[in-house]
Amino acid sequence: MAEIEINDEVQRLLQDVNDAFPGEVRLHFGKERSGYVRHDQSNQLINGDKILVEVSDVTAPDYTASHELLHMLLALKGFPQLFFKLTTGDEDADQQLMFFITELYDVVAHEIVVSEQRKHGLIDTVIESLFLNGIHETITPEKKDEIDPMSTLRLLMMMNAIVFYGDKIDQYSAEFEESYPQAWQAALDIMTKLDERDIKTPLDFRRKVIKAFKLFDGQMSKWGVAELHSMEFATLGSVFSERQLRLTVRQLFQIFHADLDEKATKTRAYIGLSIGEEQQNAFVLPTPKNKQSDEYFRELYNKNVKDLFEELKMPYSIRQ
């Protein structure tokens, strides 16, 4: 098979990523050609200061490579990332939660990623058709008035479709409404509420992700299926002002004993939740080893925010 050659736009994007990354980023292409595009067709392999972007499916190599590179650029530009530092104690349950929550986070991230891809001519009618193939490959049509184990994934796919097709969504809405009526209507409701907020800064992005977490669990509750509890299970990177970094931990966070374990130590976890309406998991702590809990948390609450986050090696962004 001939070697994959990426187009000039993807070459420039790869250079942008390498300019921003303090190491080396390279692309590697596999051989599979499935006949559809889906966002699990690429991943990142990290080895020290080198990252290999592995594009396993080359149905649309420019589209898939650029998609992964744009996600990397978001991280490099300070847009809050997801971290999973908690465990339910059940590996299968953890994997399912991480998959769904990441897909939901990506719905918001794709507002930026897809917009950039369209701006640079990396999405055309061929890619739009391949994206539709990917939807049909992934989810089955709904049975009339029935909520089933695939309902959560159908909703995520419909939300992503609304973002991906943008102002062309009317060309596909009749098909989606016929095949996935409940998921389609729920996706329209959620996306209408999410679209009330534009993304101009990392802080806008963070707020929109949190709103998506809340709206999605609201729909899960309406359907009577298990909620994701993304605001507790997933740690979302913070965005601080310089002033907030100088505040004490108690001024910005409340720390709660969780019903989950800290993943690395397998001890009972403590979660730092932002004060106010957000109540989003911003950091996770294991059970303290060598100090009484009262003493440990008294010292913790009196630390300034910058010192704590640097001690935890927890990435954060500074509001401009």
Q: Is residue 162 part of a domain?
A: yes
Q: pLDDT of 265-319, one tens digit each?
A: 999 999 999 988 789 999 999 998 876 778 889 999 999 999 999 999 999 999 9
Percentage above 70 pLDDT, the chain? 99
**Confidence category of residue 137, pLDDT binned at 50, 70, 90:** very high
Does one domain contain both 49 and 172? Answer: no
Whether residue 153 sits in one domain with residue 128: yes
In a domain, 52, yes or no: yes
What is the model's pLDDT at position 144?
87
Structure tokens at 192: 């209408």
Cβ 236 vs Cβ 80: under 8 Å: yes
Q: Is 115 part of any domain?
A: yes
- Residue 19's CB is within 10 A of a number of other CB atoms, namely 9
Mean pLDDT of the region 13-41: 96
The last residue of one of the domains, among 198, 228, 258, is 228
pLDDT, averaged across the chain: 95
C-alpha distance across the termini of the chain, in Å? 48
Q: Output the pLDDT for position 259.
A: 92
**Residue 85 falls within a domain, yes or no?**
no
- Which structural domain, as residue segments, surrounds residue 155? 91-228
User: Residue 118's pLDDT is what?
Assistant: 97
CA distance 181 to 178: 6
Residue 189's φ and ψ, nearest 5 degrees, are -60, -45
| Closest by CA position to 15, among listed 27, 4, 1 | 27
Q: Per-residue pLDDT tens for 177-194?
A: 999 999 999 999 999 999
Query: Cα(234)–Cα(194) distance, rounded to whole angstroms?
Result: 19
Examine the domain organization and report whether 112 and 150 are in the same domain: yes
122 has pLDDT over 90: yes
Q: Is residue 242 part of a domain?
A: yes
| 67 and 107 together in one domain | no
What's the predicted TM-score (pTM) here? 0.95
Which ranges of the chain would DSSP assign to H, the alpha helix?
8-20, 61-76, 91-119, 125-138, 151-165, 173-179, 181-194, 202-223, 230-233, 242-246, 249-252, 293-302, 305-311
Specify the number of domains making up the chain: 3
Name the domain boundary from 197, 228, 259: 228
Q: Which of 24, 47, 77 is at the close of a domain?
A: 77
What is the pLDDT averaged over residues 12-33? 96
Say whether both 42 and 119 belong to one domain. no
Question: Mean pLDDT over residues 192-197, rounded?
Answer: 89
Q: Is residue 83 part of a domain?
A: no
pLDDT at 2: 54
Does 1 have pLDDT greater than 70?
Answer: no
Q: How confident is the model at residue 19 (pLDDT cuts 50, 70, 90)?
A: very high
Residues 34 and 95 in one domain: no
Same domain for 210 and 119, yes or no, is yes
Over residues 202-249, the pLDDT tens digits come to 999 999 999 999 999 999 999 999 999 999 999 999 999 999 999 999
